């Protein structure tokens, strides 16, 4: 099995050295892991209220540290990824910046709506005052823009707007989910089943079952990540996650090398990389 969403202490809100995450992965019997730490917002000229990414100066260190870890490891494949914030208006700059890094994959995530870091517990109270329908509309509009930007290989925690348990009724949410699945398909994108949502107030994977079903029906590829911010979170809830993926109809997981996608079977096998079907 794989875990494609691991952080490092460079982002200032994760614990444990990359080697500790690797050992945790070994303990869980994983065959492949990928680090996807928070790409420096400073490179885009953005300084959020809370420091949540590595600094521009730390990016070369991150790249060389993960590359060295990968080179020294014989059993588990170690991939170099990044979790990159989608910021409207910064697309050209970001495309140029990402092209110069040797990433295996880039996860595009939305953590900011304008200046609101809405996934940060410190700023969650703002949901109380907000017009939830408007917040969801804004979130999904940003998400669809991110999909269409062509910047990303994987869309991260795709319905993270539910993180703190503020939800639209299912009927109101449905059109957003349907459109999201369609846009992922049109854009040829992959998304992740991110198991961290299970431990958040939302108490559900990102995305929930309904969006997984819609994406599977559209033939949108999925990958798997724990969003671990500590070594003991590596592979968290993966038995449950795999069961859910099977139930909705998935049979394979996407993996990436040098930003090229291929697939491994969801069940069994040594997780050997198979040639891409698409
Ligand atoms: Zn984080
Ligand atoms: Fe994130
Ligand atoms: Fe993350
Ligand atoms: Zn994340």
In the prediction, which pLDDT does 49 show? 77
* Ligand 3 mean position, distance from CA 213 (Å): 23
* Ligand 2 mean position, distance from CA 106 (Å): 12
* Ligand 3 mean position, distance from CA 14 (Å): 10
* Ligand 4 mean position, distance from CA 77 (Å): 21
Tell me how far the alpha carbon of residue 173 is from its chain's centroid.
21
* Ligand 4 mean position, distance from CA 196 (Å): 8
In the prediction, which pLDDT does 54 show? 96
In the prediction, which pLDDT does 105 show? 98
* Ligand 2 mean position, distance from CA 84 (Å): 8
* Ligand 4 mean position, distance from CA 6 (Å): 9
* Ligand 3 mean position, distance from CA 83 (Å): 6
Neighbours of ion ligand 2 (CB under 5 A): 109
In the prediction, which pLDDT does 23 show? 98
* Ligand 2 mean position, distance from CA 111 (Å): 6
Q: Which domains does the chain have, with CATH numbers?
A: 2-275 (3.20.20.140)
* Ligand 2 mean position, distance from CA 7 (Å): 10
**What is the residue-level pLDDT of the chain in tens, covering all 278 positions?**
999 999 999 999 999 999 999 999 999 999 999 999 999 999 999 887 778 999 999 999 999 999 999 999 999 999 999 999 999 999 999 999 999 999 999 999 999 998 899 999 999 999 999 999 999 999 999 999 999 999 999 999 999 999 999 999 999 999 999 999 999 999 999 999 999 999 999 999 999 999 999 999 999 999 999 999 999 999 999 999 999 999 999 999 999 999 999 999 998 644 444 444 44
* Ligand 1 mean position, distance from CA 271 (Å): 27
* Ligand 1 mean position, distance from CA 229 (Å): 7
* Ligand 3 mean position, distance from CA 37 (Å): 7
């Amino acid at each position: 099995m794989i875990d494609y969403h691991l952080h490092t202490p460079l982002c200032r809100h994760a614990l444990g050295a990359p080697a500790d995450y690797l050992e945790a992965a070994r303990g869980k019997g994983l065959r492949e892991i990928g680090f996807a730490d928070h790409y420096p917002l400073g490179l885009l000229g953005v300084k959020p209220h809370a420091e949540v990414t590595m600094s521009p100066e730390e990016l070369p260190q991150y790249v060389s540290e993960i590359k060295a870890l990968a080179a020294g490891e014989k059993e588990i494949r170690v991939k170099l990824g990044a979790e990159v914030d989608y910021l409207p208006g910064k697309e050209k700059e970001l495309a140029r910046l990402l092209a110069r890094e040797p990433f295996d994959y880039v996860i595009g995530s939305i953590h900011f709506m304008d200046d609101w870091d809405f996934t940060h517990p410190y700023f969650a109270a703002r949901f109380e005052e907000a017009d939830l329908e408007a917040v969801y509309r804004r979130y999904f509009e940003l998400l669809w823009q991110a999909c269409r930007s062509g910047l990303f290989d994987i869309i991260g925690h795709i319905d993270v707007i539910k993180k703190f348990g503020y939800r639209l009724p299912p009927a109101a949410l449905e059109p957003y989910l349907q459109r999201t699945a369609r846009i992922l398909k049109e854009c040829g994108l992959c998304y992740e089943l991110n198991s961290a949502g299970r431990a958040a107030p939302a108490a559900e994977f990102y995305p929930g079952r309904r969006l997984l079903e819609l994406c599977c029906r559209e033939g949108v590829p999925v990958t798997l990540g724990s969003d671990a911010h500590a070594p003991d979170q590596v592979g968290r809830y993966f038995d449950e996650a795999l069961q859910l993926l099977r139930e909705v109809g998935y049979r394979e997981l996407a993996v990436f090398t040098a930003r090229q996608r291929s697939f491994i079977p969801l069940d069994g096998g040594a997780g050997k990389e198979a040639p891409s079907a698409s």
